[in-house]
């Protein structure tokens, strides 16, 4: 298993750790795992590892890192893992089930599809399964361009998965359950109006009208002071519905 959500770890089928110690060797592995089945050229790896002027020995160093990685990963060949040389680059073949990032993305996609199809129960289950895989941002100890890009993309996907999961549970009527999660979301991401809208819905749905109105005032103050704008039309309509005591 290749774990990239959180710090990089590699284990064999028995759960025993496979050690990849050198920082640049770890970076090469992360790039290859995040580009499954693609040929990553030596030039691309050099540009990732040395963002300024690469040393004269850069190509030989990359070849050495890959040689050592191939030896380290050899116990995984029985599980379908293969690090191959293809032209002037390398391709790492890894089954989807063996990479936590791919399992996370697949569960989020399936959960989002289930929600679109009106299957809130299945969606909530799939999205909760996805969220249990999240152990933190993608390999925070590795600082190369491709990893930074993937870290930003997957951070956004994780946030979207949290919101989708809350939406699914709201549809199931679990208002009390989602309120603490929504409070954490709006505290961490105060400009995410989708999260604020669900917080208003959850509070009002449990008869906590005064708290819902207070939450709207908090949002309005944040948007006004930080961005100089008003809440979106949909949120203003929801606010009016709560004021009038209409169902939300």
What are the structural domain ranges in the chain? 2-94, 175-248
Q: What's this model's pTM, rounded to 2 decimal places?
A: 0.93
Residues 6+ apart with CB under 8 A from 236: 230
**CATH code of the region 175-248:** 1.25.40.10
d(CA 95, CA 115): 27
Domains 2-94 and 175-248 share a fold: no
d(CA 87, CA 229): 54
8 Å CB contact between 134 and 104: yes
**Nearest 10 degrees: CA dihedral of 137, 142, 147, 153?**
20
At the topology level of CATH, where does 2-94 sit? Answer: Arc Repressor Mutant, subunit A (1.10.10)
Q: 10-residue block means of pLDDT along the chain (248 residues)?
A: 96 91 96 94 97 93 97 94 96 95 97 98 98 97 97 98 98 96 97 97 95 97 96 94 77
**Which pair of tokens denotes residue 245?**
């005591």
């Amino acid at each position: 298993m290749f774990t990239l959500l959180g710090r990089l770890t590699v284990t064999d089928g028995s759960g025993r750790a496979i050690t990849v110690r050198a920082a640049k060797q770890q970076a090469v592995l992360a790039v290859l795992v995040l580009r499954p089945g693609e040929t990553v050229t030596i030039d691309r790896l050099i540009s990732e590892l040395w963002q300024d002027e690469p040393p004269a020995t850069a190509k030989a160093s990359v070849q050495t890192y890959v040689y050592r990685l191939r030896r380290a990963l050899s116990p995984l060949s029985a599980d379908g893992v293969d690090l191959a040389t293809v032209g002037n680059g390398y391709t790492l073949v890894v089954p989807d089930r063996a990479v936590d990032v791919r399992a996370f993305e697949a569960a989020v996609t399936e959960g989002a599809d289930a929600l679109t199809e009106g299957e809130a129960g299945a969606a909530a289950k799939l999205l909760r399964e996805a969220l249990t895989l999240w152990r933190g941002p993608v390999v925070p100890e590795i600082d190369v361009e491709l990893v930074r890009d993937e870290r930003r993309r997957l951070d956004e996907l994780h946030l979207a998965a949290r919101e989708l999961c809350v939406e699914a549970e709201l549809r199931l009527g679990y208002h009390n359950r989602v309120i603490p999660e929504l409070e954490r979301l709006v505290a961490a991401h105060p400009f995410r109006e989708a999260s604020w809208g669900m917080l208003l819905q959850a509070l009002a749905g449990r008869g906590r009208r005064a708290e819902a109105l207070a939450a709207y005032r908090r949002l309005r103050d944040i948007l006004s002071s930080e961005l100089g704008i008003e809440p979106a039309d949909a949120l203003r309509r929801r606010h009016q519905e709560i004021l009038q005591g209409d169902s939300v």
